[in-house]
Structure 1
Amino acid sequence: MNTADLAAPLPLPEELLQQLQAQYAQPPRAYHNFAHVQEVLGHYAAVAADVGWAQPAEVFLALLYHDAIYEAGRKDNEARSAELARAAIARWLPPQAADAERVAALILMTARHGHWQPGQADADAALFLDCDMAILAAAPERFDAYDAAIAQEYRGKLPAWMFRHYRRRFLRSLLDAPRIFLSDYFHARCDMAARANLRRCLGGRSALKASAGR
C-alpha cells in the first residue's frame, strides 16, 4: 500500500500507512475497517476530479483517520480518532503540510451523521460527510452487506432487540429527512438510490416482524 494507491494529494510515509492499517484492524471490524477507508477515498477521488476540494490534504487525512479508533457503542470514537490524527500529523508530516485542527474538526463532525442540515457545513465539510454516507446509495447487495456488517459489529455490545430499535430509528430518520446528502453533488447522484435502499431495508424488516408475529 502506498500513497499512489490511495490517490493521496500529499506523500505519506510508509510507516504511517502501516500503523494506520494496523489500527483499522483493532478490534476486528466487519465494516469500519481499512476497506471502508479505501471505499470513501474512491468518492474523494471522484469529487477531486469533478468539482475539486478547497483543502484536499485536510479532507484526505480526515477521511484516512475518521474511523481509526472504533469500538461499537462507544461515544468517544470520533474524539479519539481526531486526537490520533493530530498526533500522526505532528509526528509524520512536515510543518504546513496540513492544518491538523481542520482535520480533527472534520473527523469530529462525523459524530453527528444524520443530524446536519444543508448550509450548516461548508462546502468541503459537506462533501466530506457525504463521502462517508455514500454507502447508503450503493448497489442493493453492497448496501445489504454493509447493513449486516454493522449488526455484526454490535453483536454482544447491545441486546439484539435494542440494536434493531436504534438502527431502525436511525435509518428511518435518514429516510424521513428532506435531504440525506448535504452537498448538491451527492444529492444529485445518490439520493434516489439511497432512498430506495432505505425503503427496501425498512420495509423488509417490517414484513419480517409481521411474519414472525403470525
Structure 2
Amino acid sequence: MLKQFKELFNRHAALISELRARHEGRPYHNWNHILAILYLASKHPHLINDIEAFFWMAVFHDLIYRSDRQDNEEKSAAAAQESLIALISEARLTLVCLGISATAKHQVPEGLSPAETQDIAFFLDCDLAILGTDSETFSTYDAAIREEYAWVPEPQWRSGRAGVMKNFLGRDPLYFTAEMRKEFEASARYNMKALIKELSA
C-alpha cells in the first residue's frame, strides 16, 4: 500500500476505527472492499493526482449502505462532508464528495479539471475492478451481493441483477483508464456475460 495511504491511516486512526466499525456485518460492502480499492490504487500511483482526496473517497464511499435504499451515495457524501470539514481544504472536500456521489451511476461529473477528472475516473475504475477478477473471485463477489439483497425474491433478483450487468456491458469501454481497461475489461465482459446467461437460465 502507498506510504501516503498508510500515513493517513495512522494520522486519523480514531476516525478510521469508527469508519471501519460501521462497515462490519456486510457480506461485500465491508472494510475489505475499501482496502482492496486502496491496494489496487497503490499499484498505479501515477494515476492519482490528489492522494488524500482519493483516500477519503475510498474510505467514505460505502459508509452508508442499505440495499433497500437509493440514497446511500448521497448520505455517504454528506457524512464525509460532516466528518472532514475541519480536516481538509474546501476544494479537496468538494472533490471527495463528488467522487463519492459519482459511485451512484459510475459516471464522472462534468466541469472538472483534468486532474480531478482523472482522480474520480480512476477511483470509479477501482471500485468496479471486482467485475474483472478471475471467475472464482467474481462468483464469490456475486454471492455476497445476493446475500446483501436477501430480501429480494429470486425472480426479481434475477431480472434486476441481469439488468445491472447489461447496463455495464452497454458501456464501451467499461473502465475509464487505459491501465484498468488492459487489466480488467476483457475479464469483466466475460464474467458479466456468463452471469447474465446464468441468471436467465
Q: Is the 8 A contact 1:9 1:56 kept in 2?
A: no
Q: Whose Rg is larger?
A: 1
Unaligned runs of 5+ in 1: 210-214
**Code of the aligned partner of 2:101:** L
Q: Does 1:106 align with 2:99?
A: yes
Flag the 1:168–1:135 CA change in 2: closer, same or farther, 3 A: same
Flag the 1:57–1:133 CA change in 2: closer, same or farther, 3 A: same
Match of 1:44 among 41, 53, 60: 41
CA shift digits 1:49-85 (9 cap, x unpaired)? xx24111111111011100110013111001111111
Match of 1:81 among 66, 76, 81: 76
Deviation at 1:9, TM superposition (A): 5.5
Deviation at 1:45, TM superposition (A): 0.8
CA shift digits 1:2-39 (9 cap, x unpaired)? x96954567532211110111112xx211000011111
Q: Distance in 1 between matches of 2:193 and 2:109?
A: 22
Q: Is the 8 A contact 1:43 1:131 kept in 2?
A: yes
Q: Does 1:149 align with 2:148?
A: no
Deviation at 1:193, TM superposition (A): 1.1
The residue that corresponds to 1:16 in the other structure is 15
The residue that corresponds to 2:193 in the other structure is 199
Q: Does 1:174 align with 2:168?
A: yes
Q: Is the 8 A contact 1:175 1:195 kept in 2?
A: yes
TM-score normalised per structure 1: 0.82
Q: Distance in 2 between matches of 1:31 and 1:16?
A: 21
TM-score normalised per structure 2: 0.87
SS at match of 1:178: coil
Q: Distance in 2 between matches of 1:119 and 1:104?
A: 14
Q: Distance in 2 between matches of 1:138 and 1:98?
A: 34
Q: Distance in 2 between matches of 1:183 and 1:126?
A: 7
Aligned-pair Cα RMSD in Å: 2.5
State percent identity of aligned pairs.
Answer: 29
Q: Distance in 1 between matches of 2:109 and 2:34?
A: 24
State the aligned residue count: 196
Deviation at 1:90, TM superposition (A): 2.7
